[in-house]
Amino acid sequence: MRTHPIGAAGVEVTELGFGSASISGLYEAVDEDTAAATVAAAWDAGVRYFDTAPHYGVGLAERRLGAALRDKPRDAYTLSTKAGRLLVPYAEGEGPGDDLAHGFAVPATHRRVWDFSADGVRRSLEQSLERLGLDRLDIVYLHDPDDHGEQALREAYPALERLRAQGIVRAIGAGMNQAGMLTRFVTDTDVDLVLCAGRYTLLEQTALRELLPAAEERGKRVVIGGVFNSGLLADPGRPDATYDYTAVPDAIRARALHMRAVTEAYGVPLRAAALRFPFGHPAVASVLTGARSVAEAQDAAAMLRLEIPDGLWEGLRAEGLLPAEVPVPAAGGQEERCA
């Protein structure tokens, strides 16, 4: 699987990355053996970029991912985690019982406390290293600083910059479900990359307005998360499919179903087109998917390798499903792009 460099410290990410939210019980529980087997399947498929966060399953994703990677050579993979939410244990009998209010089918052992102070960043990373069982991190993102932007830029970002200068962290960035503030990180700081979830997909390309051009101009890389818009583009026919983690509006489902009809007319599953689409832009280095089973991990790798026929993208344009100004990958899924 191809890789792309991030920053100046020798960090590389595979074009397919493994997002660990699902193996920590996003929406529904996943048992420990299944979680471990899913990570192993992604590894066997060539994935060498793994992403996690304290938020996912109140620490369970970090613990499970660290355990699954423990016997792998540390220099053979790239791992990213996030800072901005500290996990504080509930006193006995204090918690709500489960974490479903945050979307995770796990016991609510901790509460999340927003903290984008310099000390909060350091404490968060110390806790993450302990949960992961590792002695270093490759990439650290500031996680969802939407309502804490000024503090994140004034305190958390400089803390990450110092950690990078000290060699404790190799690359730094921010991860969000919006493109606007990520553009500010790209233009006003010296981040190495950003993680943009849900805003550059077949259904929505708001990141193309400012974020992606700014990243390309400044030589920064972008990782695309939520490439299926939280599930809809993986299977728009599922009654329980979600869009941006909520119920799917009828008009958006109809658009996704129309897209599926077009891609399948070219012999391509919609999820394969959705995975390949972001690589039409030269700033994109990787796409993250959140497998919860061996089959899903294997399928994501197979779909990314699938050859895309010449006319598929133009077919989507002809049906009014893809704007003319949106760049698309070269034919065949093996396009040459600047590194």
Q: Known catalytic residues?
A: 56
Decide if 112 contacts 72 (C-beta within 8 A): no
By three-state DSSP, how is residue 35 classified?
A: helix
Residue the block writes with tokens 């350091």 = 122
Whole-angstrom distance, CA of residue 317 vs CA of residue 332: 18
Report the run of H or E that residue 246 belongs to, with start and end: strand 246-247
Q: What is the dihedral of CA 304, 308, 314, 319, to 10 degrees?
A: -70
- Report the first-to-last Cα separation within the chain, whole angstroms: 14
Decide if 164 contacts 171 (C-beta within 8 A): yes
Query: And the tokens for 159?
Result: 């803390």
Q: What is the dihedral of CA 168, 162, 82, 1, to 10 degrees?
A: -60
CA atoms 102, 105, 109, 115: torsion sign: negative
Whole-angstrom distance, CA of residue 174 vs CA of residue 144: 8
Report the run of H or E that residue 120 belongs to, with start and end: helix 118-132
Residues in the chain: 339
Going by C-alpha positions, the residue among 233, 315, 333 that lies closest to residue 274 is 233
Going by C-alpha positions, the residue among 203, 221, 202, 201 that lies closest to residue 212 is 221
Query: And the tokens for 18?
Result: 């493994």
Whole-angstrom distance, CA of residue 208 vs CA of residue 281: 9
Interaxial angle between packed helices 211-218 and 180-188, expressed in degrees from 0 to 180 and rounded to the nearest 10: 20
Whole-angstrom distance, CA of residue 90 vs CA of residue 95: 6
